[in-house]
Amino acid sequence: MFPAVADATHMRTNGVLWRGWLPVSRGRRIELSVHCCFPATLVAVTWLLAMACFPRFFPGWHPAAYWLVATTVALADSVAGLAHELGHAVVAMARGRQVYRITLYGLAAAVRRTSGAARPRDQFAIALAGPVSHLLIACALLCAWNVLPIDNEPLRVATGFPAASNFAAGLLNLVPISPLDGARVARALIAGLVRV
Q: Does 81 bind Zn ion (CB under 5 A)?
A: no
Q: Does 181 bind Zn ion (CB under 5 A)?
A: yes
CB 32 → Zn ion: shortest distance, Å? 16
The count of residues interacting with Zn ion (CB under 5 A) is 2
Q: Does 182 bind Zn ion (CB under 5 A)?
A: no
* Pairing of the two strands 109-113 and 99-104: antiparallel
Phi and psi based region of residue 187 (left: phi greater than 0; alpha: psi -120 to 50; beta: remaining): alpha
One-character DSSP codes across the chain: ----EE-GGG--SSSEEEEEEEEEETTEEEEEEEETHHHHHHHHHHHHIIIIIHHHHSTT--HHHHHHHHHHHHHHHHHHHHHHHHHHHHHHHHTT--EEEEEE-SS-EEEEE--S---HHHHHHHHHHHHHHHHHHHHHHHHHHHHS-TT-HHHHHHHHHHHHHHHHHHHHHTSS-TTSHHHHHHHHHHHHHHH-
Cα of 22 vs its chain's centroid, Å? 15
CB 130 → Zn ion: shortest distance, Å? 3
**Candidate ranges 5-13, 62-70, 97-105, 127-135; the one touching Zn ion (CB under 5 A):** 127-135
Q: Which is nearer to Zn ion, 34 or 82 (CB)?
A: 82
Q: Does 130 bind Zn ion (CB under 5 A)?
A: yes
CB 83 → Zn ion: shortest distance, Å? 11
CB 128 → Zn ion: shortest distance, Å? 9
**Candidate ranges 55-63, 65-73, 123-131, 162-170; the one touching Zn ion (CB under 5 A):** 123-131
Q: Which is nearer to Zn ion, 73 or 128 (CB)?
A: 128
**Candidate ranges 16-24, 92-100, 130-138, 144-152; the one touching Zn ion (CB under 5 A):** 130-138
CB 184 → Zn ion: shortest distance, Å? 8
CB 152 → Zn ion: shortest distance, Å? 34
Q: Which is nearer to Zn ion, 50 or 108 (CB)?
A: 108
Q: Which residues bind Zn ion (CB under 5 A)?
A: 130, 181
